[in-house]
Amino acid sequence: MTTEKINKLILEKVEKSDCDNKTKEFIKLALEFERDFLNDELNRYTERYKKYAEYFSKKKGDSK
């Protein structure tokens, strides 16, 4: 599958998944980040993810 097609498909599937909205948002952000830094060094994503996780876990829960 072309990169555009697979990216679109993944996002569609994330939207359709049964996880809550903040998890969906977190996944989308993580995927976007990976697309930009697919081959980047470990420390860059580690720190970034921790910040994402910290931010989203504090976010108030919402409906699915």
Binding site for another protein (CB under 8 A): 1-3, 5-7, 9-10, 13-14, 17, 19-20, 22-23, 26-27, 30-31, 34-35, 38, 42, 45-46, 49-50, 53-54, 56-58
Residue 44 CB, shortest distance to another protein, in Å, is: 10
Cβ 3 to another protein, closest distance in Å?
Answer: 6
* Alpha carbon distance 52, 2 (integer Å): 28
Distance between CA atoms of residues 33 and 37, nearest Å: 6
Contact 21, 62 (CB under 8 A): yes
